[in-house]
Structure 1
Amino acid sequence: MIGRDLELGLALERWGQAKRGEGQLVLLSGEAGIGKSRITRALIDTVSQENPARVSYQCSPYYSRSPLYPAVQHLRLAIGIEEADDDGEKLRKLQRTKGPANPLLPIFASLIDLKCYESDALAGLNPQQLRARTLDGLVDDILGAAARRPLLFVIEDIHWIDATTLELLDQCVDRIQNARVMMMVTTRPSFEHGFGGHPIVTKLALDRLGREQTTAFIEKLGGDIRLPPTIVNKIIATTDGVPLFIEELTKSVLETHQFDRVAVFEEDHARSADLDIPLTLHDSLMARLDRLQPVKEVAQMAACIGREFRQDLLGSVTRLSAVELEEALDKLVDAELVFRRGRGSDARYTFKHALVRDAAYHSMLKSVRQDIRSRLADKLGLELTVEPELVAHHIIAARRYREAAECFLQAGRAAAARSANAEAVAHSRAPWTL
């Protein structure tokens, strides 16, 4: 955390108010790579020492038209649902996590499509009534958890949120005023929803780092290496205070030139060095990926899946053996370009930043991307738990437009059945706007 003490301090101050029963929402905005996720992570790490309750919603560009996608994914993760679980196992996990007598079980079961759960609680409700009951139930669940211990509710990348989840958050803001809940929301500046100008909302816009902060960041990344002023000045001028760019470009320079770990370079040494400084973040990221050949190809294929990807799904579109794929992913993790959760074929990975994923993706030939996306669509189309919207994204990238239209139509019907009218309309337009 360099140069973000004030922002983190303000967020922690709002957390203190929330713990006293004064519900808060902090809206953290800034351009891509400016450090929103880093501040959020620092907040989580700091308050986790107090063992609070926590709810995490991650919005996704692939599911911006899928009603309540972030809520459903959080529920599945909280319960511990795995791909191989049948309905009986899902129900056992749901009851064990939420309590067998929890009155909200019918709503949770509906969200994760548990066909085996029998209850009269939702019987006879029309789609609009079911939608209202579901939103009320999710807010009740948050307030119930906050009654037991303070709750940190993190919503990341809200600029990709679906309309129904946004309505859920509006209801949360209205109902947490006297609850021990803090909502931490991250967004890019393009997101204009103001949560009704509610008095519990604090808007916090992140600025770029100044010269002194950038220099301190470079020194921190260098460790024992003290880069010469000429190189430091080049990095400062090129990165323009964007933390992600500073980090990636500094690592790129250090990896390329293999400086002596304890050397202090003279100015004339720096002038004579042949330093090819990348001019953009994309160039810097690609330079790092190029030095990881043949691991670069694995990163590119993973980028076709999305910012988050499963190892087994990646394995279905690569010719590498399981051992070779594991080794390649280990190198990406060691380079801190992706993060891993779990091990083996069930492992899940996340690109360090959406811009890292984008750099890997756009470095591929369009024809290769098209082929991989087509194979991914065929693979995902066989998985019953995959939303048709995700399959449609891959199919349309593969230029299989008629099939994509069918998938979007299917997704639109599913949204309409839940009275998610905004999402249903968006699905109907999707094949022509993507």
Structure 2
Amino acid sequence: MQCPLCCRVNRPDARFCDACGVCLTAQAADEAAVALVVGREAELAALADLVGRMVNGHGAIVALVGEPGIGKSHTAKTLARRATGVRTLWGRCNEEPGAPPYWPWLQIMRVWLEGHDYDELQATLGAAAAPIAEILPEIRHRFRDLAPLLPTPDPQQQRFRLFDAMTGFWKAAAATEPLLLIIDNLHWADASSLRMLEFFASEIADSHILLLATYRDTELGRQHPLSVTLGDLARYGHFHRFRLAGLNRQESATLIAQSGGAGLTPPLLDGIYSQTEGNPLFIAETTRLLIQEGVLGRRAEGRTAAPRLLASIRIPEGVREVIGRRLNRLSPQANRVLECAALIGRTFDLQLLRRVLDETLAPNLQNTIEEALQSHVLEPAEQPGWFQFSHALIRETLYDEIAIPARGGLHLQVAQAIEERYKDDADRYLPALAHHYTSALPGADAGRATDIARRAAERATRLLAHEEAARYYRLALQAAGAMSARDPVLTTRLLNALGESLTATGEYLQAREAFEQAMSLATASNAIDQITRAALGFETATWAPGLAGQAAARLLREALAAQASGDSIAKAQLLSSLARALIFSGEDAQAAIVREQAVAMARRSGDTGTLVATLVATLSARWQPERSAERLRDIDEALRLAEGEGNVLGALDAQAWQLFELMELGELSTWLERLEQFEYRAAELRQPFVRYVAATSRATFALLEGRFDDAERQIAQALQIGRRMPGLDAPGVYGMQMFTLRCEQGRLRDLAPLVRAFVNAPPRAGMWRPGLALLYAEIDLLDEARSEFEALAADDFAVVRHDALRAASLAYLAQVCSRLDDTKRAEVLYAMLLPYDGRNLLIGTTVGCFGAAASLLGLLATTQRKWQDAQRHFESALTMNFRQGASPALAHTRLRYASMRLARNADGDRDGASVLLEDARAAAVRMGMRTLTERIDEVRRSIGPASTPVCPAGLSAREAQVLRLVASGLENREIAKRLFLSPNTVANHIRSILAKTGSANRTEAAAFAIRNGLAG
């Protein structure tokens, strides 16, 4: 066995280190401490139950919570020791800010890697190897032939790919051996590690993984990153939290005895217990102090303390005081060395510490470390030559006692020592260097500190740790501000980089502030490239959360004005972004003009990638249905160019738009074929946003076909994918799809509070107002519906813009208008909706589909009493909805058409309405459309029994209609097409007809029809 202090090998039968005689004793003491458990059996029993459930495939996340020293880590160690048949892996978060991004996850992963050979790695990692290798170089070293990942321009998608790969890997690893993953001191985790935990938590409910995390609740405020994570975890049924309280009086006495506190008297126990309140660390440290002071231990054993002695004993009032008093018993030299060690971190490399110490301390370092080990202030770390403070509070106490003026100099010494010690691997230590150099200001070289912090930020960006990148860019800006000669261009670059990192994390407000500052500085210094970067970044951070684009348009115009004359790629990008900003500003006509300029300039630039990106980006400037041909032309061109250049991601972007166009045109067989290709490429390339688009499209398709159970499951799956990408409005899309589903199911009352909350919550409240008006109308709150409708109808519905939600808004408003019987507004809405005739009405791209627009055009024509137009539209809608299998839309259309015919009341209308209502009701009942069924029944009752035609042999109106067509010689498929029924439904009708009429075949049935006047 190797001694961490002197690096000599002991004899196999030795129980102590030949060189120092301490290290093995300390290790044995630690093992003994783990073996002894006081006052935690209830929690351990509950945790053991979760381990058992995990072994059976029910994964969980567990949090051990409590104040410092309450025994969180000790309880976790005990669970790990008792969890037989389970592989335990530890990751520990560092309290000092210089730890690398994803540090606890990297520790866990490295330990797992060390225990598996190449074949095992290959079998477990699979396709996850390449994404994980981006943050863990050891994987690339083990897989020399690992193909590079296809780059993804969107940093959020890149990180999704990483998190998805990491989660998939752990689930695969746990399939071969159950895993207990422990992350200690989660309150010190970097924000990127917390985001990975949130992603991980959503995926492990059906795995053989139990992840246990410890954290101090005393460290958390509302703004602490962990507070957000805990709120996210609390949504899951497989998340459990155990709060550890102090030990009771008897348990405290037991712990004192186990810590060597012989000679304990009841009054002394009372004193210790009242001060420590049962905190195990406080009790143990107080016991050690009292042993050192001769109050407890062998010298006090068997002795009854006199009242005078007890009165002279002062129990420390806090754990920091007891630590301080124990440290005071160490030599002055030991305290000075330990202060330097504390500045390095809780765990430190002895050789690094030696470089930090001055010439008076370095020669006696070994003796000093031995003194600290014997006093249980330090303990050996797992890595030879490394040590750690026995508790984080000891390190914190020492650090806080360093005089502030002296800290800067010590931080600088540590930074220089790290550079000297690890000069061959300096990039790996950039986070620690950035922490120490910036903490050393103003005594350190501000330029050097700025450069180190910038490089640390760039490294974090490469590792997709965007929260950490933002933190280091802020440190770099702080250091740049301390430079004697200010460099505005450098500051501008740092601000733009900060804005990009904040955008990647979804912190759009802060990102826009950074870009605005960058724009101001860049303009003052005429840094054209940074002006361009700031304007483009600001616009991205504006449209991504769906905010109005006026401010972005202003900055983009300023950036365009600053460009040199002539064509350039930068100008094409700025014009493309400006077109989108104008759409989000409601300036549709101007957006179309700018879009043409952007595409023309992209063509002249000669850069194919820029042209593809511009063609796709400017599609959003042309939502008008009458411009569909232009969009299809640009989509086809973008696809051809992207595929010709091998630009797979550009091709996927274009294909996403192609899916929208195909669904709007109702070409669902082609749409489904292209969607399957799209899904295949998404899975192959592990592109998260593409997977999200595919998931929402599948949910929309299920809604369109009336498969509501499938739709609800797929909507939830889409949300699960989408919410892992910061900045993506996955909850908004989820809300839209659930609103559509509940509307079809007749359950809108369930969503009323949710929709009201959305309407009252800026910045995207306006998008929900038409939906709220429909909700009121659907649940018969007509006064409220009228109030909303009147507000939206101002200036001929000017609020309805030519954007992604125009079709949905018109669909909602048309239904409300009809329900309110508002003839005047029906004329306005009819004109607005007419360009969609012959198309489906979609929410966004593929968020939802209402079926044929002709159905709502017929509804508005009915409201205006324009019967011929209404009939034409309804016949068109029946044809389109039947052809594409849009069963709910078909049922709605039949009810609307039936209601129109009853209102018109021409010859044959009542009979025709009865048939339509019969078919609509059968479909509504089959699909569980409760409200639609009730409305159909209401209309049927209004017809009255006398108006229902009496058919011979008890045939229903629809069966009589089918029999007429049989008698005319039509086959089932032709009848189905004529009546907008499925061939199976027609076959069922014919079987019923044969049974009711006593006919043996179709010929006899036709003869029955002729005899009873049903033919002709």
Answer yes or no: same fold by TM over 0.5: yes
What percent identity do the matched residue pairs reach? 25
User: Within the alignment, does 1:54 sit opposite 2:88 as a pair?
Assistant: yes
Matches within 5 A, 1:8-27: 8-27=44-63
TM-score w.r.t. length of structure 1? 0.86
Quickly say closer, same or farther: Cα 1:80–1:374, change in 2 above 3 A: farther
Higher Cα Rg: structure 1 or 2?
Answer: 2
Match of 2:5 in 1: none
Summarize the Cα distance change of 1:18–1:407 in structure 2 as closer, same or farther, 3 Å threshold: same
Task: Name which of 400, 424, 433 aligns with 1:362.
Answer: 400
- Counterpart in 1 of 2:415? 377
* Equivalent-residue separation in structure 1 for 2:409 and 2:120 (angstroms): 41
- Aligned match of 2:838: none
Q: 1:73 aligns with which of 107, 113, 118?
A: 107
1:248 aligned residue: 285
1:326 lines up with 2:381 in the alignment = no
Cα distance in 1 for residues equivalent to 2:50 and 2:308: 46
Which amino acid letter does the alignment assign opposite residue 112 of structure 1? L
The change in CA–CA distance for 1:26 and 1:433 in structure 2 (over 3 A counts) is farther
**What secondary structure is seen at the aligned counterpart in 2 of 1:41?**
helix
Normalised to the residue count of structure 2, the TM-score between the two structures is 0.39
* Greater length-normalized contact order (CA 8 Å, ≥ 6 residues apart): 1
Q: Distance in 1 between matches of 2:213 and 2:268?
A: 36
Displacement of 1:71? 1.9
Which residue of the partner structure matches residue 279 of structure 1?
A: 317
Deviation at 1:328, TM superposition (A): 2.3
Higher strand share: 1
- 1:289 paired to 2:313: no
Check the 8 A contact 2:69/2:281 in 1, yes or no: yes
- Name the aligned partner's letter for residue 471 of structure 2: A
The 10-residue stretch of structure 1 (249-258 or 211-220) with the greater mean CA deviation from structure 2: 211-220
Does the aligned pair in 1 maintain the 2:62–2:212 contact within 8 Å? yes
Structure 1 position 106, deviation (Å): 2.9
Is the 1:231–1:270 contact (alpha carbons within 8 Å) kept by the matching residues of 2? no
- CA shift at 1:320, angstroms? 6.6
1:27-426 matches, within 5 Å, as: 27-47=63-83, 49-50=84-85, 52-63=86-97, 66-79=100-113, 95=118, 98-99=121-122, 102-103=125-126, 104-113=128-137, 117-126=144-153, 127-189=155-217, 190=220, 191-192=226-227, 193-194=230-231, 195-222=233-260, 225-257=262-294, 259-261=297-299, 263-268=301-306, 271=309, 274-293=312-331, 294-318=333-357, 319=359, 324-341=364-381, 346-382=384-420, 383=422, 384-399=426-441, 400=444, 402=446, 403-426=448-471
Query: How many angstroms does 1:5 deviate by?
Result: 1.2
**AA in 1 matched with 2:248:** G
Equivalent residue, structure 1, for 2:38: 2
- 2:62–2:240: 8 Å Cα contact kept in structure 1? yes
Aligned-partner SS, 2:434: helix
Q: C-alpha distance in 1, partners of 2:61/2:320? A: 33
Structure 2: which amino acid aligns with 1:228?
A: T
- The answer to whether the 8 A contact 1:230-1:271 is kept is no
Q: Matched residues in 2 for 1:94 and 1:414: separation?
A: 29
Label 1:213 to 1:331 Cα distance change in 2 as closer, same or farther (>3 A).
same
Cα distance in structure 2, aligned partners of 1:287 and 1:317: 26
Note the residue ranges of structure 2 that are not aligned, 5 or more in a row.
1-36, 221-225, 480-1016
Closer, same or farther: CA 265–385 of 1 in aligned 2, 3 Å: farther
Taking the aligned partners of 1:21 and 1:299, their CA distance within structure 2 comes to: 46
> Which shifted more, 311-320 or 122-131?
122-131
Name the structure with the higher helix share.
2
Alpha carbons 2:97, 2:435 under 8 Å: kept? no
| Aligned residues of 2:152 and 2:158 also touching (Cα < 8 A) | yes
Structure 2: how far apart are the matches of 1:329 and 1:420? Answer: 36
The whole-number CA distance in structure 2 between the counterparts of 1:301 and 1:80 is 32
- Cα distance in 1 between the residues matched to 2:475 and 2:335: 31
SS at match of 1:172: helix
Report the Cα distance in structure 1 between the residues aligned to 2:278 and 2:124, rounded to whole angstroms: 53
SS at match of 1:111: coil
Of residues 353-362 and 63-72 in structure 1, the stretch that sits farther from structure 2 once superposed is: 63-72
Which stretch shifts more, 103-112 or 227-236?
103-112
1:315: Cα distance to partner?
1.3
Does the CA contact (< 8 Å) of 2:101 and 2:190 recur in 1? yes
CA deviations 1:375-430 (Å, max 9, x no partner) are: 11112235325342221221233223724343333222333344433333233334
Distance 2:391 2:208 in 1: 31
> Which residue identity is paired with 1:213?
E
* Cα pair 2:182 2:213 within 8 Å, conserved: yes
Distance 2:78 2:341 in 1: 27
Shift of 1:76: 3.7
Partner-residue secondary structure (3-state), 1:250:
helix
CA contact (8 A) 2:171 2:207 kept: yes
Cα distance, 1:121 vs. partner? 4.3
Distance 2:106 2:197 in 1: 14
Q: Which residue identity is paired with 1:62?
A: E
Looking at structure 1, the residues matched to 298 and 462 of structure 2 have their Cα atoms a distance apart, in angstroms, of 64
Counterpart CA distance in 2 for 1:231 and 1:97 is 57
Aligned length: 418
* CA distance in structure 1 between the aligned counterparts of 2:191 and 2:305, rounded to whole angstroms: 56
CA distance in 1, matches of 2:409, 2:279: 34
CA distance in structure 2 between the partners assigned to 1:360 and 1:350 by the alignment: 13
Q: Which amino acid aligns with 1:70?
A: P
Q: Work out the CA distance in 2 between the residues paired with 1:18 and 1:76.
A: 23
Tell me by how many angstroms 1:8 deviates: 1.3
Answer whether contact 2:99 2:432 (CA < 8 A) is retained. no
Q: Distance in 1 between matches of 2:338 and 2:120?
A: 35
User: Which of 361-370 and 388-397 deviates more?
Assistant: 361-370
Please report how far the alpha carbon of residue 102 of structure 1 lies from its aligned counterpart in structure 2 after TM superposition: 4.7
The code of the aligned residue for 1:253 comes to L
Could you tell me how far apart the structure 1 residues matched to 2:477 and 2:286 are?
Answer: 38
Alpha-carbon distance in 1 for matches of 2:79, 2:368: 32
Q: Distance in 2 between matches of 1:252 and 1:285?
A: 8
Q: Which runs of 5+ in 1 are unaligned?
A: 82-92
Q: Name the CA distance, whole Å, in 1 between partners of 2:125 and 2:466.
A: 29
Q: Distance in 1 between matches of 2:89 and 2:172?
A: 12
Q: 1:162 to 1:368 in 2, by over 3 A?
A: closer
Contact 1:228 1:265 survives alignment (8 Å): no
Deviation, structure 1 residue 350? 1.7
CA displacement at 1:109 relative to structure 2: 3.3
User: What CA distance in whole angstroms lies between the structure 2 residues aligned with 1:320 and 1:8?
Assistant: 48
Give the letter for the 2:93 counterpart: C
